[in-house]
Structure 1
Amino acid sequence: MLGRSLGAGTFAIFWQYWNPIWGYYLGKYIFKPLKLIFPPALSLIITFAVCGLIHDLAIMILKWKVTLLLTPWFLFMGLSVIVSDYAKIDYSKFPWAIRATINVVIILGCLFIAYQVRI
C-alpha cells in the first residue's frame, strides 16, 4: 500500500491506493450521496473534510480536548487533488523516488498550511 501510493504519478491516484478500504466507505457513504447534490469537485472536497473530521473526532475523544488540525489538513489535500487534476499535473514518467517525493511534499505542504490555520 505504501509503495504503490507514494509512487503514484498523480496526487489523485495516490489517494486511490492509500487505504482502499477506508476510501471505499468514504466513497460509498459520503462522496456518492454528496455527488447527487453538489458538483463532483465540491463533493470530493467535502468528503476529504469529513474524513479529516472523523480523524479529529477520534483524537478529541482520546484527549478530551477540542482540536481541529486534521480537518483543515484533509480539506487542503482535497483541494490539492482538484487543482492538480484540473491543471493535469502528471509526474508518472519520473522515477519512483521523485514521484514519492512530490507526493510527500504535497502532503506536508498541506499539513503546513493547516497548521497555520489550526484551531
Structure 2
Amino acid sequence: MHKSISLGRYVKKRNGVPLGAPGSLQAMLKRSFGAESFYVFWQYWNPIWGYYLSRNVMRPLNRVLPIWLSILLTFTVSGALHDIAVTVIKWQATFFFAPWFTLMGIIVLVSKLYNISYQGDSLLIRSLFNLFYIVFSFCLTIVFQRMYG
C-alpha cells in the first residue's frame, strides 16, 4: 500500500465501491468469499480494519521482519485486539481470537507458499473453500483450547 493512500481510496480499491456507498457490504462479501484463494480473501475482507492494520502493524513490522513473519504477526495482533474488545465487553479475560487468527494467518501463508488457488471454479465453490478455511481454523482453535486451555 502506498504511504499516502487515503482510507476512502483504499476501500474503493478493495470493494470496488466508495466507502459507505450502497451495496458496499455486499461487494465486500462477494469479493472476499469469491476470492481465488484464501490469501486473496484477506485482501478484500473488512477493508477498513485492513487499512489500519496495514498502516499501523504490517508496514512497520515489514521494515524489520520478513514478509511472512509480518503477515503472521499482523494476524496475531488483529486477533489480540479482538480478544481485548471481547474482554472489555464481557469483563472477563478472553484468549480465543489471537490463536484463531494466528492459525488463519498460517493457512494464508501455506496457501500462498503452495499457490493454492481455485480461480477457475464457480463463485459458489470459491466461497465454500474460503468459508471452509475459516470454519476449519475456528474448530481447530476450539479443539486446542479444550485440550490445552
Shift of residue 38, structure 1, vs aligned partner: 1.1
Distance 1:98 1:74 in 2: 23
With structure 1 as the length reference, what TM-score do the two structures score? 0.96
Unpaired segments ≥5 residues, structure 1: none
Larger Rg, first or second structure (1 or 2): 2
Distance 2:104 2:37 in 1: 13
Aligned twin of 2:75: 48
Q: How well do the aligned residues superpose, as a CA RMSD in angstroms?
A: 0.8
Shift of residue 21, structure 1, vs aligned partner: 1.4
Mapping for residues 1-119 of structure 1, pairs under 5 Å: 1-118=28-145, 119=149
Shift of residue 4, structure 1, vs aligned partner: 1.2
Distance 2:47 2:144 in 1: 29
Distance 1:117 1:36 in 2: 32
Aligned twin of 2:5: none
Corresponding letter in the other structure for 2:72: I
Unpaired segments ≥5 residues, structure 2: 1-27
Higher relative contact order (CA 8 A, sep 6+): 1
Corresponding letter in the other structure for 2:105: G
Shift of residue 117, structure 1, vs aligned partner: 2.3
User: Secondary structure in 2 aligned to 1:68?
Assistant: coil
Question: How high is the sequence identity, in percent, across the aligned residues?
Answer: 41
Corresponding letter in the other structure for 1:47: T
Shift of residue 113, structure 1, vs aligned partner: 1.3
User: Aligned residue pairs: how many?
Assistant: 119
Corresponding letter in the other structure for 1:38: L
Corresponding letter in the other structure for 2:75: F
